[in-house]
Amino acid sequence: MRTRLIGLRVLPLAAALVAVGVAVGVAVGVAVGVAASSAHAQGAPLPTQAAGSPDWMEPVEPFRIADNLYYVGTRGLANYLVTTPQGHILVNSDLEENVPMIRAGVEKLGLKFSDIRILVINHAHWDHDAGSATIKRLTGASYAVMDGDVAVVQTGGEADFHYGGNPVLRYAPATVDRVLHDGDQVSLGGMTLVAHRTPGHTKGNTTWTMRVTDLGKAYEVVIVGSWNVNPGYRLVNNAAYPGIAEDYERTFRTLKALKCDIFLGAHGSYFEMEKKVARLAAGGPNPFIDPAGYARAVNEREQAFRAELARQKAAPPPSHAR
């Protein structure tokens, strides 16, 4: 099975994505029978959890990144499938409404959705975790989550330090089968993913690394959890997360220390996915091999964090600092 999959380069609609851009989401959404995305294409409002981010629900064709590593997400939310002879590892579950799209992507690769044996996430926000309970129910997959995010997952977002008080952003709780700690490994069928705790964005934000071999050469893959300071995050005097600034500092030290050949992340925008899909479809060197892009992005996000930290330190604390 693995040999056949390695032969894939990029599926046909990836080329169409180059030509028609975001319009591809409508066509594929109808084709795979994803009701939520079809409704959006016909002008219906997005589910509240995706409001303001329509690309979160715009399907794209699944494509091979390298070796047995595939993209099965939407235009805005990234899901990765690691295939092995003993079943598959899925990274991220996204919105619950996106689960049919993820399933369709897996099946378009000629694989069985039910062969997903392990589910992991980058972090426990609704846009990466709300589908976890459904995926566990449909596949029986074991669910592994970093220690700082376990309570958030198992309360359906209620325990989140920032968003927990917003009922709109709640989702179906999921049972965690394995609690991960920094440096733990998740292995299946000869493939190993390493969990790096990169906290700040969430307390258990996780950056995943793995090694793939493509065309006889080994590459180090980094799937960034998140490096963003979201609007409203308090980096100073945060009673709900007192060490948040120090955790961001730790995260950037960790990210800068990782060796990265293939640069990926929890959102396609982190690593300019659409531009790279276009280049992949055109042929030539694999554009996802981008160590310089990774280093540049880490530096840019670190500078953004430091600028926001300095701004907050210079400003008077809000009356409801958290």
Range name among 40-44, 158-162, 221-225 with the lowest pLDDT average: 40-44
Q: What are phi and psi of 95, to 5 degrees?
A: -65, 150
d(CA 276, CA 182): 30
- Arithmetic mean of pLDDT, 41-56: 62
pLDDT class of 319 with cuts at 50, 70, 90: low
The domain limits of the chain are: 2-314
HEC states along the chain? CHHHHHCCCECHHHHHHHHHHHHHHHHHHHHCCCHHHHHHHCCCCCCHHHCCCHHHHCECCCEEEECCEEECCECCCCCEEEEECCEEEEECCCCHHHHHHHHHHHHHCCCCHHHEEEEECCCCCHHHHCCHHHHHHHHCCEEEEEHHHHHHHHCCCCCCCCCCCCHHHCCCCCCCCEEECCCCEEEECCEEEEEEECCCCCCCCEEEEEEEEECCEEEEEEEECCCCCCCCCCCCCCCCCCCHHHHHHHHHHHHHHCCCCEEEECCHHHHCHHHHHHHHHHCCCCCCECHHHHHHHHHHHHHHHHHHHHHHHHCCCCCCCC
- Arithmetic mean of pLDDT, 5-19: 36
Q: What is the mean pLDDT of the chain?
A: 86
d(CA 213, CA 65): 11
d(CA 223, CA 208): 5
Please give the CATH topology (third level) of the domain spanning 2-314. Metallo-beta-lactamase; Chain A (3.60.15)
pTM of the predicted structure, to 2 decimals: 0.85
For position 26, what pLDDT does the model report? Answer: 28
For position 215, what pLDDT does the model report? Answer: 86
Range name among 46-60, 147-161, 246-260 with the lowest pLDDT average: 46-60
CA distances from 131 to 59, 79, 94, 119, 170 (A): 16, 12, 5, 11, 11
- Contact partners, residue 261, CB within 8 Å, separation at least 6: 219, 220, 221, 289, 291
Q: Taking 80 as the threshold, does the pLDDT of residue 72 lie above it?
A: yes
